[in-house]
């Protein structure tokens, strides 16, 4: 029987990841999995390699695993979601809302994966299209959130929010976050947005430091379409997807946001109580 190929996405900037990587590669081999590493380190371990900029090298993966924090997992998801490759994360960071397996659980997780003892859980993504007139300038997808924010040196960002083509709000703020339920525990939460159960198919619209007493977070079905338009005369804004992939948004353009055609499939190797997880993760900061 052919071995299952496990693509390993390590944050090599973390010392604890670099220390643990040799043991993790050997653990995969011991359980009959074929570890696949980034090109820059694969030769060192004598294993197969992938190149994130070449999707054909990722299509052959059966699973993906991130070694790092939630940021590492989000980077992995950006590459694997369009290819429908399921994945999970081992947390070498701090909070780890998405990379939910800790170092102590790493050994059990790999054994369960090798034995096929897991479930799959799908999470929705958002898609943003930056449009000027009839011209599509850029497209981005996000598992956590899309953020339209003021430029580096600009004043407040002034924008209009349209939902299903109807004007639904005007904002003078540092920015506006459009988050998935998955991303409700991230930037949106820090900006005063609600916690949302991840299986709900909704978008959370949260202003960042709005110059208003009435602008509050909105929760709408993800089936609704969102359009953000800079108010005429505004300075250039920046659109980011999951904190990266920054796109310039001049004031004569608009950002159209809808449910992405892609989903991220998470490999669930343990049972998870989200209410307990929220308490454990968020109480650390009190």
pLDDT tens digits along 248-284: 999 899 999 999 999 999 999 987 777 777 777 676 6
Distances (CA, A) of 182 to 41, 60, 118: 31, 27, 20
- Please state whether the predicted TM-score (pTM) of the whole model is above 0.75: yes
Domain 125-262: CATH superfamily is Probable inorganic polyphosphate/atp-NAD kinase; domain 2 (2.60.200.30)
User: What are the binding residues?
Assistant: 70-71, 144-145, 155, 174, 185-190
pLDDT at 276: 75
Whether the per-residue pLDDT at 111 is higher than 90: the answer is yes
Distance CA 180, CA 177 (A): 10
Quick check: 117 and 110 in contact, CB under 8 A? no
DSSP single-letter state for residue 2: P
User: What are the binding residues for NAD(+)?
Assistant: 70-71, 144-145, 155, 174, 185-190
pLDDT at 246: 92
Give catalytic residue positions: 70
Q: Provide the CATH number for the domain formed by 5-118+269-285 in this structure.
A: 3.40.50.10330
Residue range(s) in the chain whose domain bears CATH number 2.60.200.30: 125-262
pLDDT at 265: 98
pLDDT at 146: 99
* Nearest in space to 114 (alpha carbons), one of 209, 3, 200, 206: 3
pLDDT at 153: 66
Quote the tokens at residue 22: 């040799």
């Amino acid at each position: 029987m052919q071995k299952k190929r496990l693509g390993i996405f390590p944050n090599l900037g973390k010392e604890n990841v670099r220390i643990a990587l040799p043991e993790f590669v050997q653990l995969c081999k011991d359980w009959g999995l074929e570890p696949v590493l980034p090109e820059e380190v694969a030769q060192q371990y004598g294993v197969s390699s992938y190149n994130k900029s070449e999707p054909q090298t990722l299509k052959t993966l059966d699973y993906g695993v991130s070694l790092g924090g939630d940021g590492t997992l989000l980077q992995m998801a950006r590459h694997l979601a369009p290819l429908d490759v399921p994945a999970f994360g081992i947390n070498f960071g701090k909070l780890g809302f998405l990379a939910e397996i800790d170092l102590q659980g790493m050994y059990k997780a790999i054994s369960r994966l090798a034995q096929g003892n897991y479930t799959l859980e799908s999470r929705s993504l958002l898609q943003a299209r930056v449009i000027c007139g009839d011209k599509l300038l850029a497209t981005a997808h996000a598992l956590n959130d899309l953020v339209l924010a003021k430029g580096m040196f600009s004043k407040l960002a002034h924008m209009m929010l349209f939902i299903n083509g109807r004007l639904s709000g005007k904002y003078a703020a540092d920015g506006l976050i459009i988050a998935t339920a998955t991303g409700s525990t991230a930037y949106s939460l820090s900006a005063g947005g609600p916690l949302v159960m991840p299986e709900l198919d909704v978008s959370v619209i949260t202003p960042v430091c709005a110059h208003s007493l009435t602008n509050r977070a909105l929760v709408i079905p993800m089936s609704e379409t969102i359009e953000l338009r800079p108010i005429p005369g505004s300075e250039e804004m920046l659109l980011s997807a999951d904190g990266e992939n920054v796109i310039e948004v001049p004031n004569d353009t608009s950002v159209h946001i809808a449910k992405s055609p892609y989903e991220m499939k998470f490999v669930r190797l343990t049972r998870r109580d989200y209410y307990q997880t929220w308490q454990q993760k968020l109480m650390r900061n009190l």
